[in-house]
Amino acid sequence: MTLRAQIINIILRLFEKPTLRRANDPVKLRRSFERKARMMFHPPRGTEFVRERIGGILCTRVRPPLVPQATRGPVLLYFHGGGYVFGSARTHRALAAQIGQRVGCAAVVPDYALAPENPFPAAVNDALGVFTAVAGQVGADNIIVGGDSAGGGLALALVGELLRKAAPCPVAVFAFSPLTDMTFSASSLMQNAESDVLLPADRAAEMAAVYLSGDDATDPRASPLYADFSGGPPVWLTVGDREILLDDSTRMADKLRAAGLDVSLNVAQDLPHVWPLFHALVPEARATLDELAGWLRMRLH
């Protein structure tokens, strides 16, 4: 692990984890994350951003430099993280641009509905609406679906819902440190409670309650771990070995392989939750994005 990654771990443990542990105002949390994103997360120079409604949902279209304006894909549909409570297209558009530049494609980052104002299944319905609209423009087989943390879980839940509806699926799916089990039954939740430098395990149940608002945590749209992925597209997952969500990825990979899918699982040592967000600061983040892009290019071509 590089010195920069060690420093990020220290900063997250000393400042960000305590902030998440005591946060109780979603609006303040959203504003704070957006301020930090502007300072730390930077797109490739020359990236173009356009705000527009797609499928009735406000989204940001992202066109990295040297990526042509094409009416036919490929297109990256990226779902931001934030526990279904905070995060936005503004906090994650730089990451989507970094991936798009490496792959050679444009991206769409939706501002899907957030809890507590819009609890489950609002986010899934928004994801389905945006995917359907983009598929109508470029074709489902020209779409890559990805996301991080809760957004990674949303990406997988979307695919599970498409398969349930026997609808066309994306060409490939990826997720950084995805949240796949809202029952929080995995052993890593407690085993890594201290080693996780960012996520406070003691607030997981509260976050789930805010998002689900009384609905069943085992609903596959909320917890894709319980979805049927038979006949689904290839999936790429990565997670840190010290995260409380470690088992959300390892169990998800087992579930997908049992369904016959092509699955790539990468477990990184000592890296924080969704470390690719720190692409401007941490060499390991850029290496992960390069690895993902190589995998995606193979699926596209």
- Check the CA dihedral 6-10-13-15 and report its sign: negative
Q: Which residue among the candidates 243, 249, 279, 284 is catalytic per the annotation?
A: 243
Exactly one of 80, 88, 92, 149 is catalytic; which is it?
Answer: 149
What's the Cα-to-Cα distance from 182 to each of 23, 172, 215, rounded to whole Å? 20, 23, 11
Of 80, 92, 177, 273, which is the active-site residue?
273
Annotation says 279 is catalytic: no
Q: How many Cβ atoms sit within 10 Å of the Cβ of residue 58?
A: 15
Cα 158 versus chain centre, distance: 12
Q: Is 291 a catalytic residue?
A: no
Q: Name the token pair of 175.
A: 């997720």
Residue 290: CB atoms within 10 A of its CB come to 12
Active-site residues: which are they?
149, 243, 273
